[in-house]
């Protein structure tokens, strides 16, 4: 069944359409362990293989270096006055510590690795992203349907706006400000690809928490909009789909490879909902899935108006 038949939208009324960032709009140019290893090699670091770096990144970085640093300094160190670059520098040092015991860690290596992953040099857009946003731009200019406000909701530090912009999407500087509960600068620009970006770094809360979706709704500038006019698209079953649905939004799961919905994640979600007595308990057939962003065109097409 097409996504347009799974979701009911009133295209006569404004819509908020948001996307996850990493794994949904963009992905690394090469496997992360290869980029780490190549950059390290340029600075004279040796004694490791790409596979070893990959093992430390997947099995060591996240459970050990990443989690240890996150436990010390939550939310990329923002509460403690740290810059994300310093936070990630600690993670990089921990990742490469077995290979730098004798000669130390070149500071320029950390700077180069940080610079690689804070711009489009380290990432690429998925092939369907620009064509979809070009379509969306034409749709907005035709004004056959009500306003579509676009945004990004991401569990990330503050690199995301720069990454997206450097990859060729016109992104506005509209971000969430916890002190003011929202940050509304100038009006939404019809020519922008991304109207606002809601990052866990700014909100202090991560998907699938309802709070980050509420922050995004406020940031959209459409204060009276009903949740049923909000759509979130992402590749994470729990963070993106479940988080959106639990917040009252429409959730769409992006599975680019056409993979099945992961049953282990469904079981965990079901257990959590049963234990807490809260939340939505889905089945695999409940989850609206798309394989690329072009499938959203039918959902937003003027021919789909009620």
Range with top average pLDDT, 93-102, 199-208, 266-275: 199-208
Work out the average pLDDT over 90-110: 78
Cα–Cα distance, 145 to 122 (Å, whole number): 37
DSSP string, 226-248: -GGGEEEEES-IIIIIIHHHHTT
- Take residue 273 and report the two structure tokens written for it: 């909902």
Higher pLDDT, 187 or 301: 301
Cα–Cα distance, 233 to 21 (Å, whole number): 10
Closest CA to 141 of 196, 192, 190, 186: 190
**Residues 189-230 pLDDT 10s:** 557 899 999 999 999 888 999 999 999 998 887 767 788 889
Helix axes 107-116, 84-96, angle to 10 degrees: 120
Q: How far is CA 268 from CA 20, 94, 238, 287, 306, in A?
A: 21, 31, 9, 15, 37
Please tell me whether residue 300 adopts helix, strand or coil conformation: helix
**Residues 134-170 pLDDT 10s:** 999 988 888 777 788 999 999 999 899 999 999 999 8
Higher pLDDT, 162 or 184: 162
* The pLDDT of residue 306: 58
* The pLDDT of residue 213: 95
Report whether pLDDT(83) > 50. yes
**Residues 102-126 pLDDT 10s:** 667 788 988 999 999 988 899 999 9
**Residues 20-64 pLDDT 10s:** 999 999 999 988 888 888 898 888 888 787 777 777 665 544 445
Q: Of 68-72, 95-99, 164-168, 302-306, give the lowest mean pLDDT range.
A: 302-306
Torsion of CA 228, 278, 155, 58, to 10 degrees: -130
9 band by pLDDT with thresholds 50, 70 and 90: confident
Question: How many residues in total does the chain contain?
Answer: 306
Q: Measure the CA angle with vertex 109, ends 108 and 110; round to 5°.
A: 90
Determine if residue 176 is left, alpha or beta; phi over 0 gives left, psi from -120 to 50 gives alpha, anything else beta: beta
* The pLDDT of residue 266: 56
Report whether pLDDT(186) > 50. no
178 band by pLDDT with thresholds 50, 70 and 90: low
Report whether pLDDT(82) > 90. no
Alpha-carbon dihedral sign for residues 164, 140, 230, 261: negative
Higher pLDDT, 186 or 148: 148
From the CB of residue 223, how many other CB atoms can be counted at a distance below 10 Å? 9
**Residues 72-81 pLDDT 10s:** 877 887 888 8
Report whether pLDDT(12) > 90. no
From the CB of residue 141, how many other CB atoms can be counted at a distance below 10 Å? 10
């Amino acid at each position: 069944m097409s996504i347009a038949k799974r979701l009911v939208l009133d295209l006569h009324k404004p819509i908020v359409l948001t996307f996850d960032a990493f794994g949904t709009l963009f992905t690394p140019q090469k496997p992360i362990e290869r980029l780490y290893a190549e950059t390290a090699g340029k600075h004279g670091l040796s004694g490791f293989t790409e596979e070893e770096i990959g093992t430390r990144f997947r099995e060591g970085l996240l459970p050990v270096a990443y989690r240890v640093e996150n436990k010390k300094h939550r939310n990329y160190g923002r509460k403690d006055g740290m810059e994300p670059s310093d936070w990630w520098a600690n993670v990089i040092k921990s990742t490469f510590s077995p290979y730098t015991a004798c000669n130390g860690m070149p500071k320029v290596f950390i700077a180069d690795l940080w610079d690689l992953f804070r711009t489009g040099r380290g990432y690429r857009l998925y092939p369907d992203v620009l064509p979809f946003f070009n379509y969306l731009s034409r749709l907005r200019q035709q004004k056959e349907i009500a306003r579509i406000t676009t945004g990004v909701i991401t569990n990330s530090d503050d690199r995301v706006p720069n990454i997206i912009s450097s990859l060729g999407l016109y992104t506005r500087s509209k971000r969430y400000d916890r002190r003011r509960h929202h940050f509304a600068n100038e009006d939404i620009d019809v020519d922008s690809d991304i109207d606002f970006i809601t990052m866990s770094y700014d909100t202090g809360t991560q998907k699938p928490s309802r709070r980050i979706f509420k922050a995004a709704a406020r940031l959209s500038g459409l204060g009276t909009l009903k949740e049923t006019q909000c759509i979130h698209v992402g590749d994470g079953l729990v963070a993106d789909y479940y988080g959106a649905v639990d917040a009252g939004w429409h959730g769409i799961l992006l599975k680019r490879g056409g993979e099945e919905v992961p049953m282990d994640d469904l079981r965990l979600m079901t257990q959590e909902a049963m234990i807490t007595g809260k939340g939505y308990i889905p089945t695999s057939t409940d989850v609206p899935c798309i394989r690329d962003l072009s499938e959203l065109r039918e959902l937003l097409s003027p021919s789909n108006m009620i």
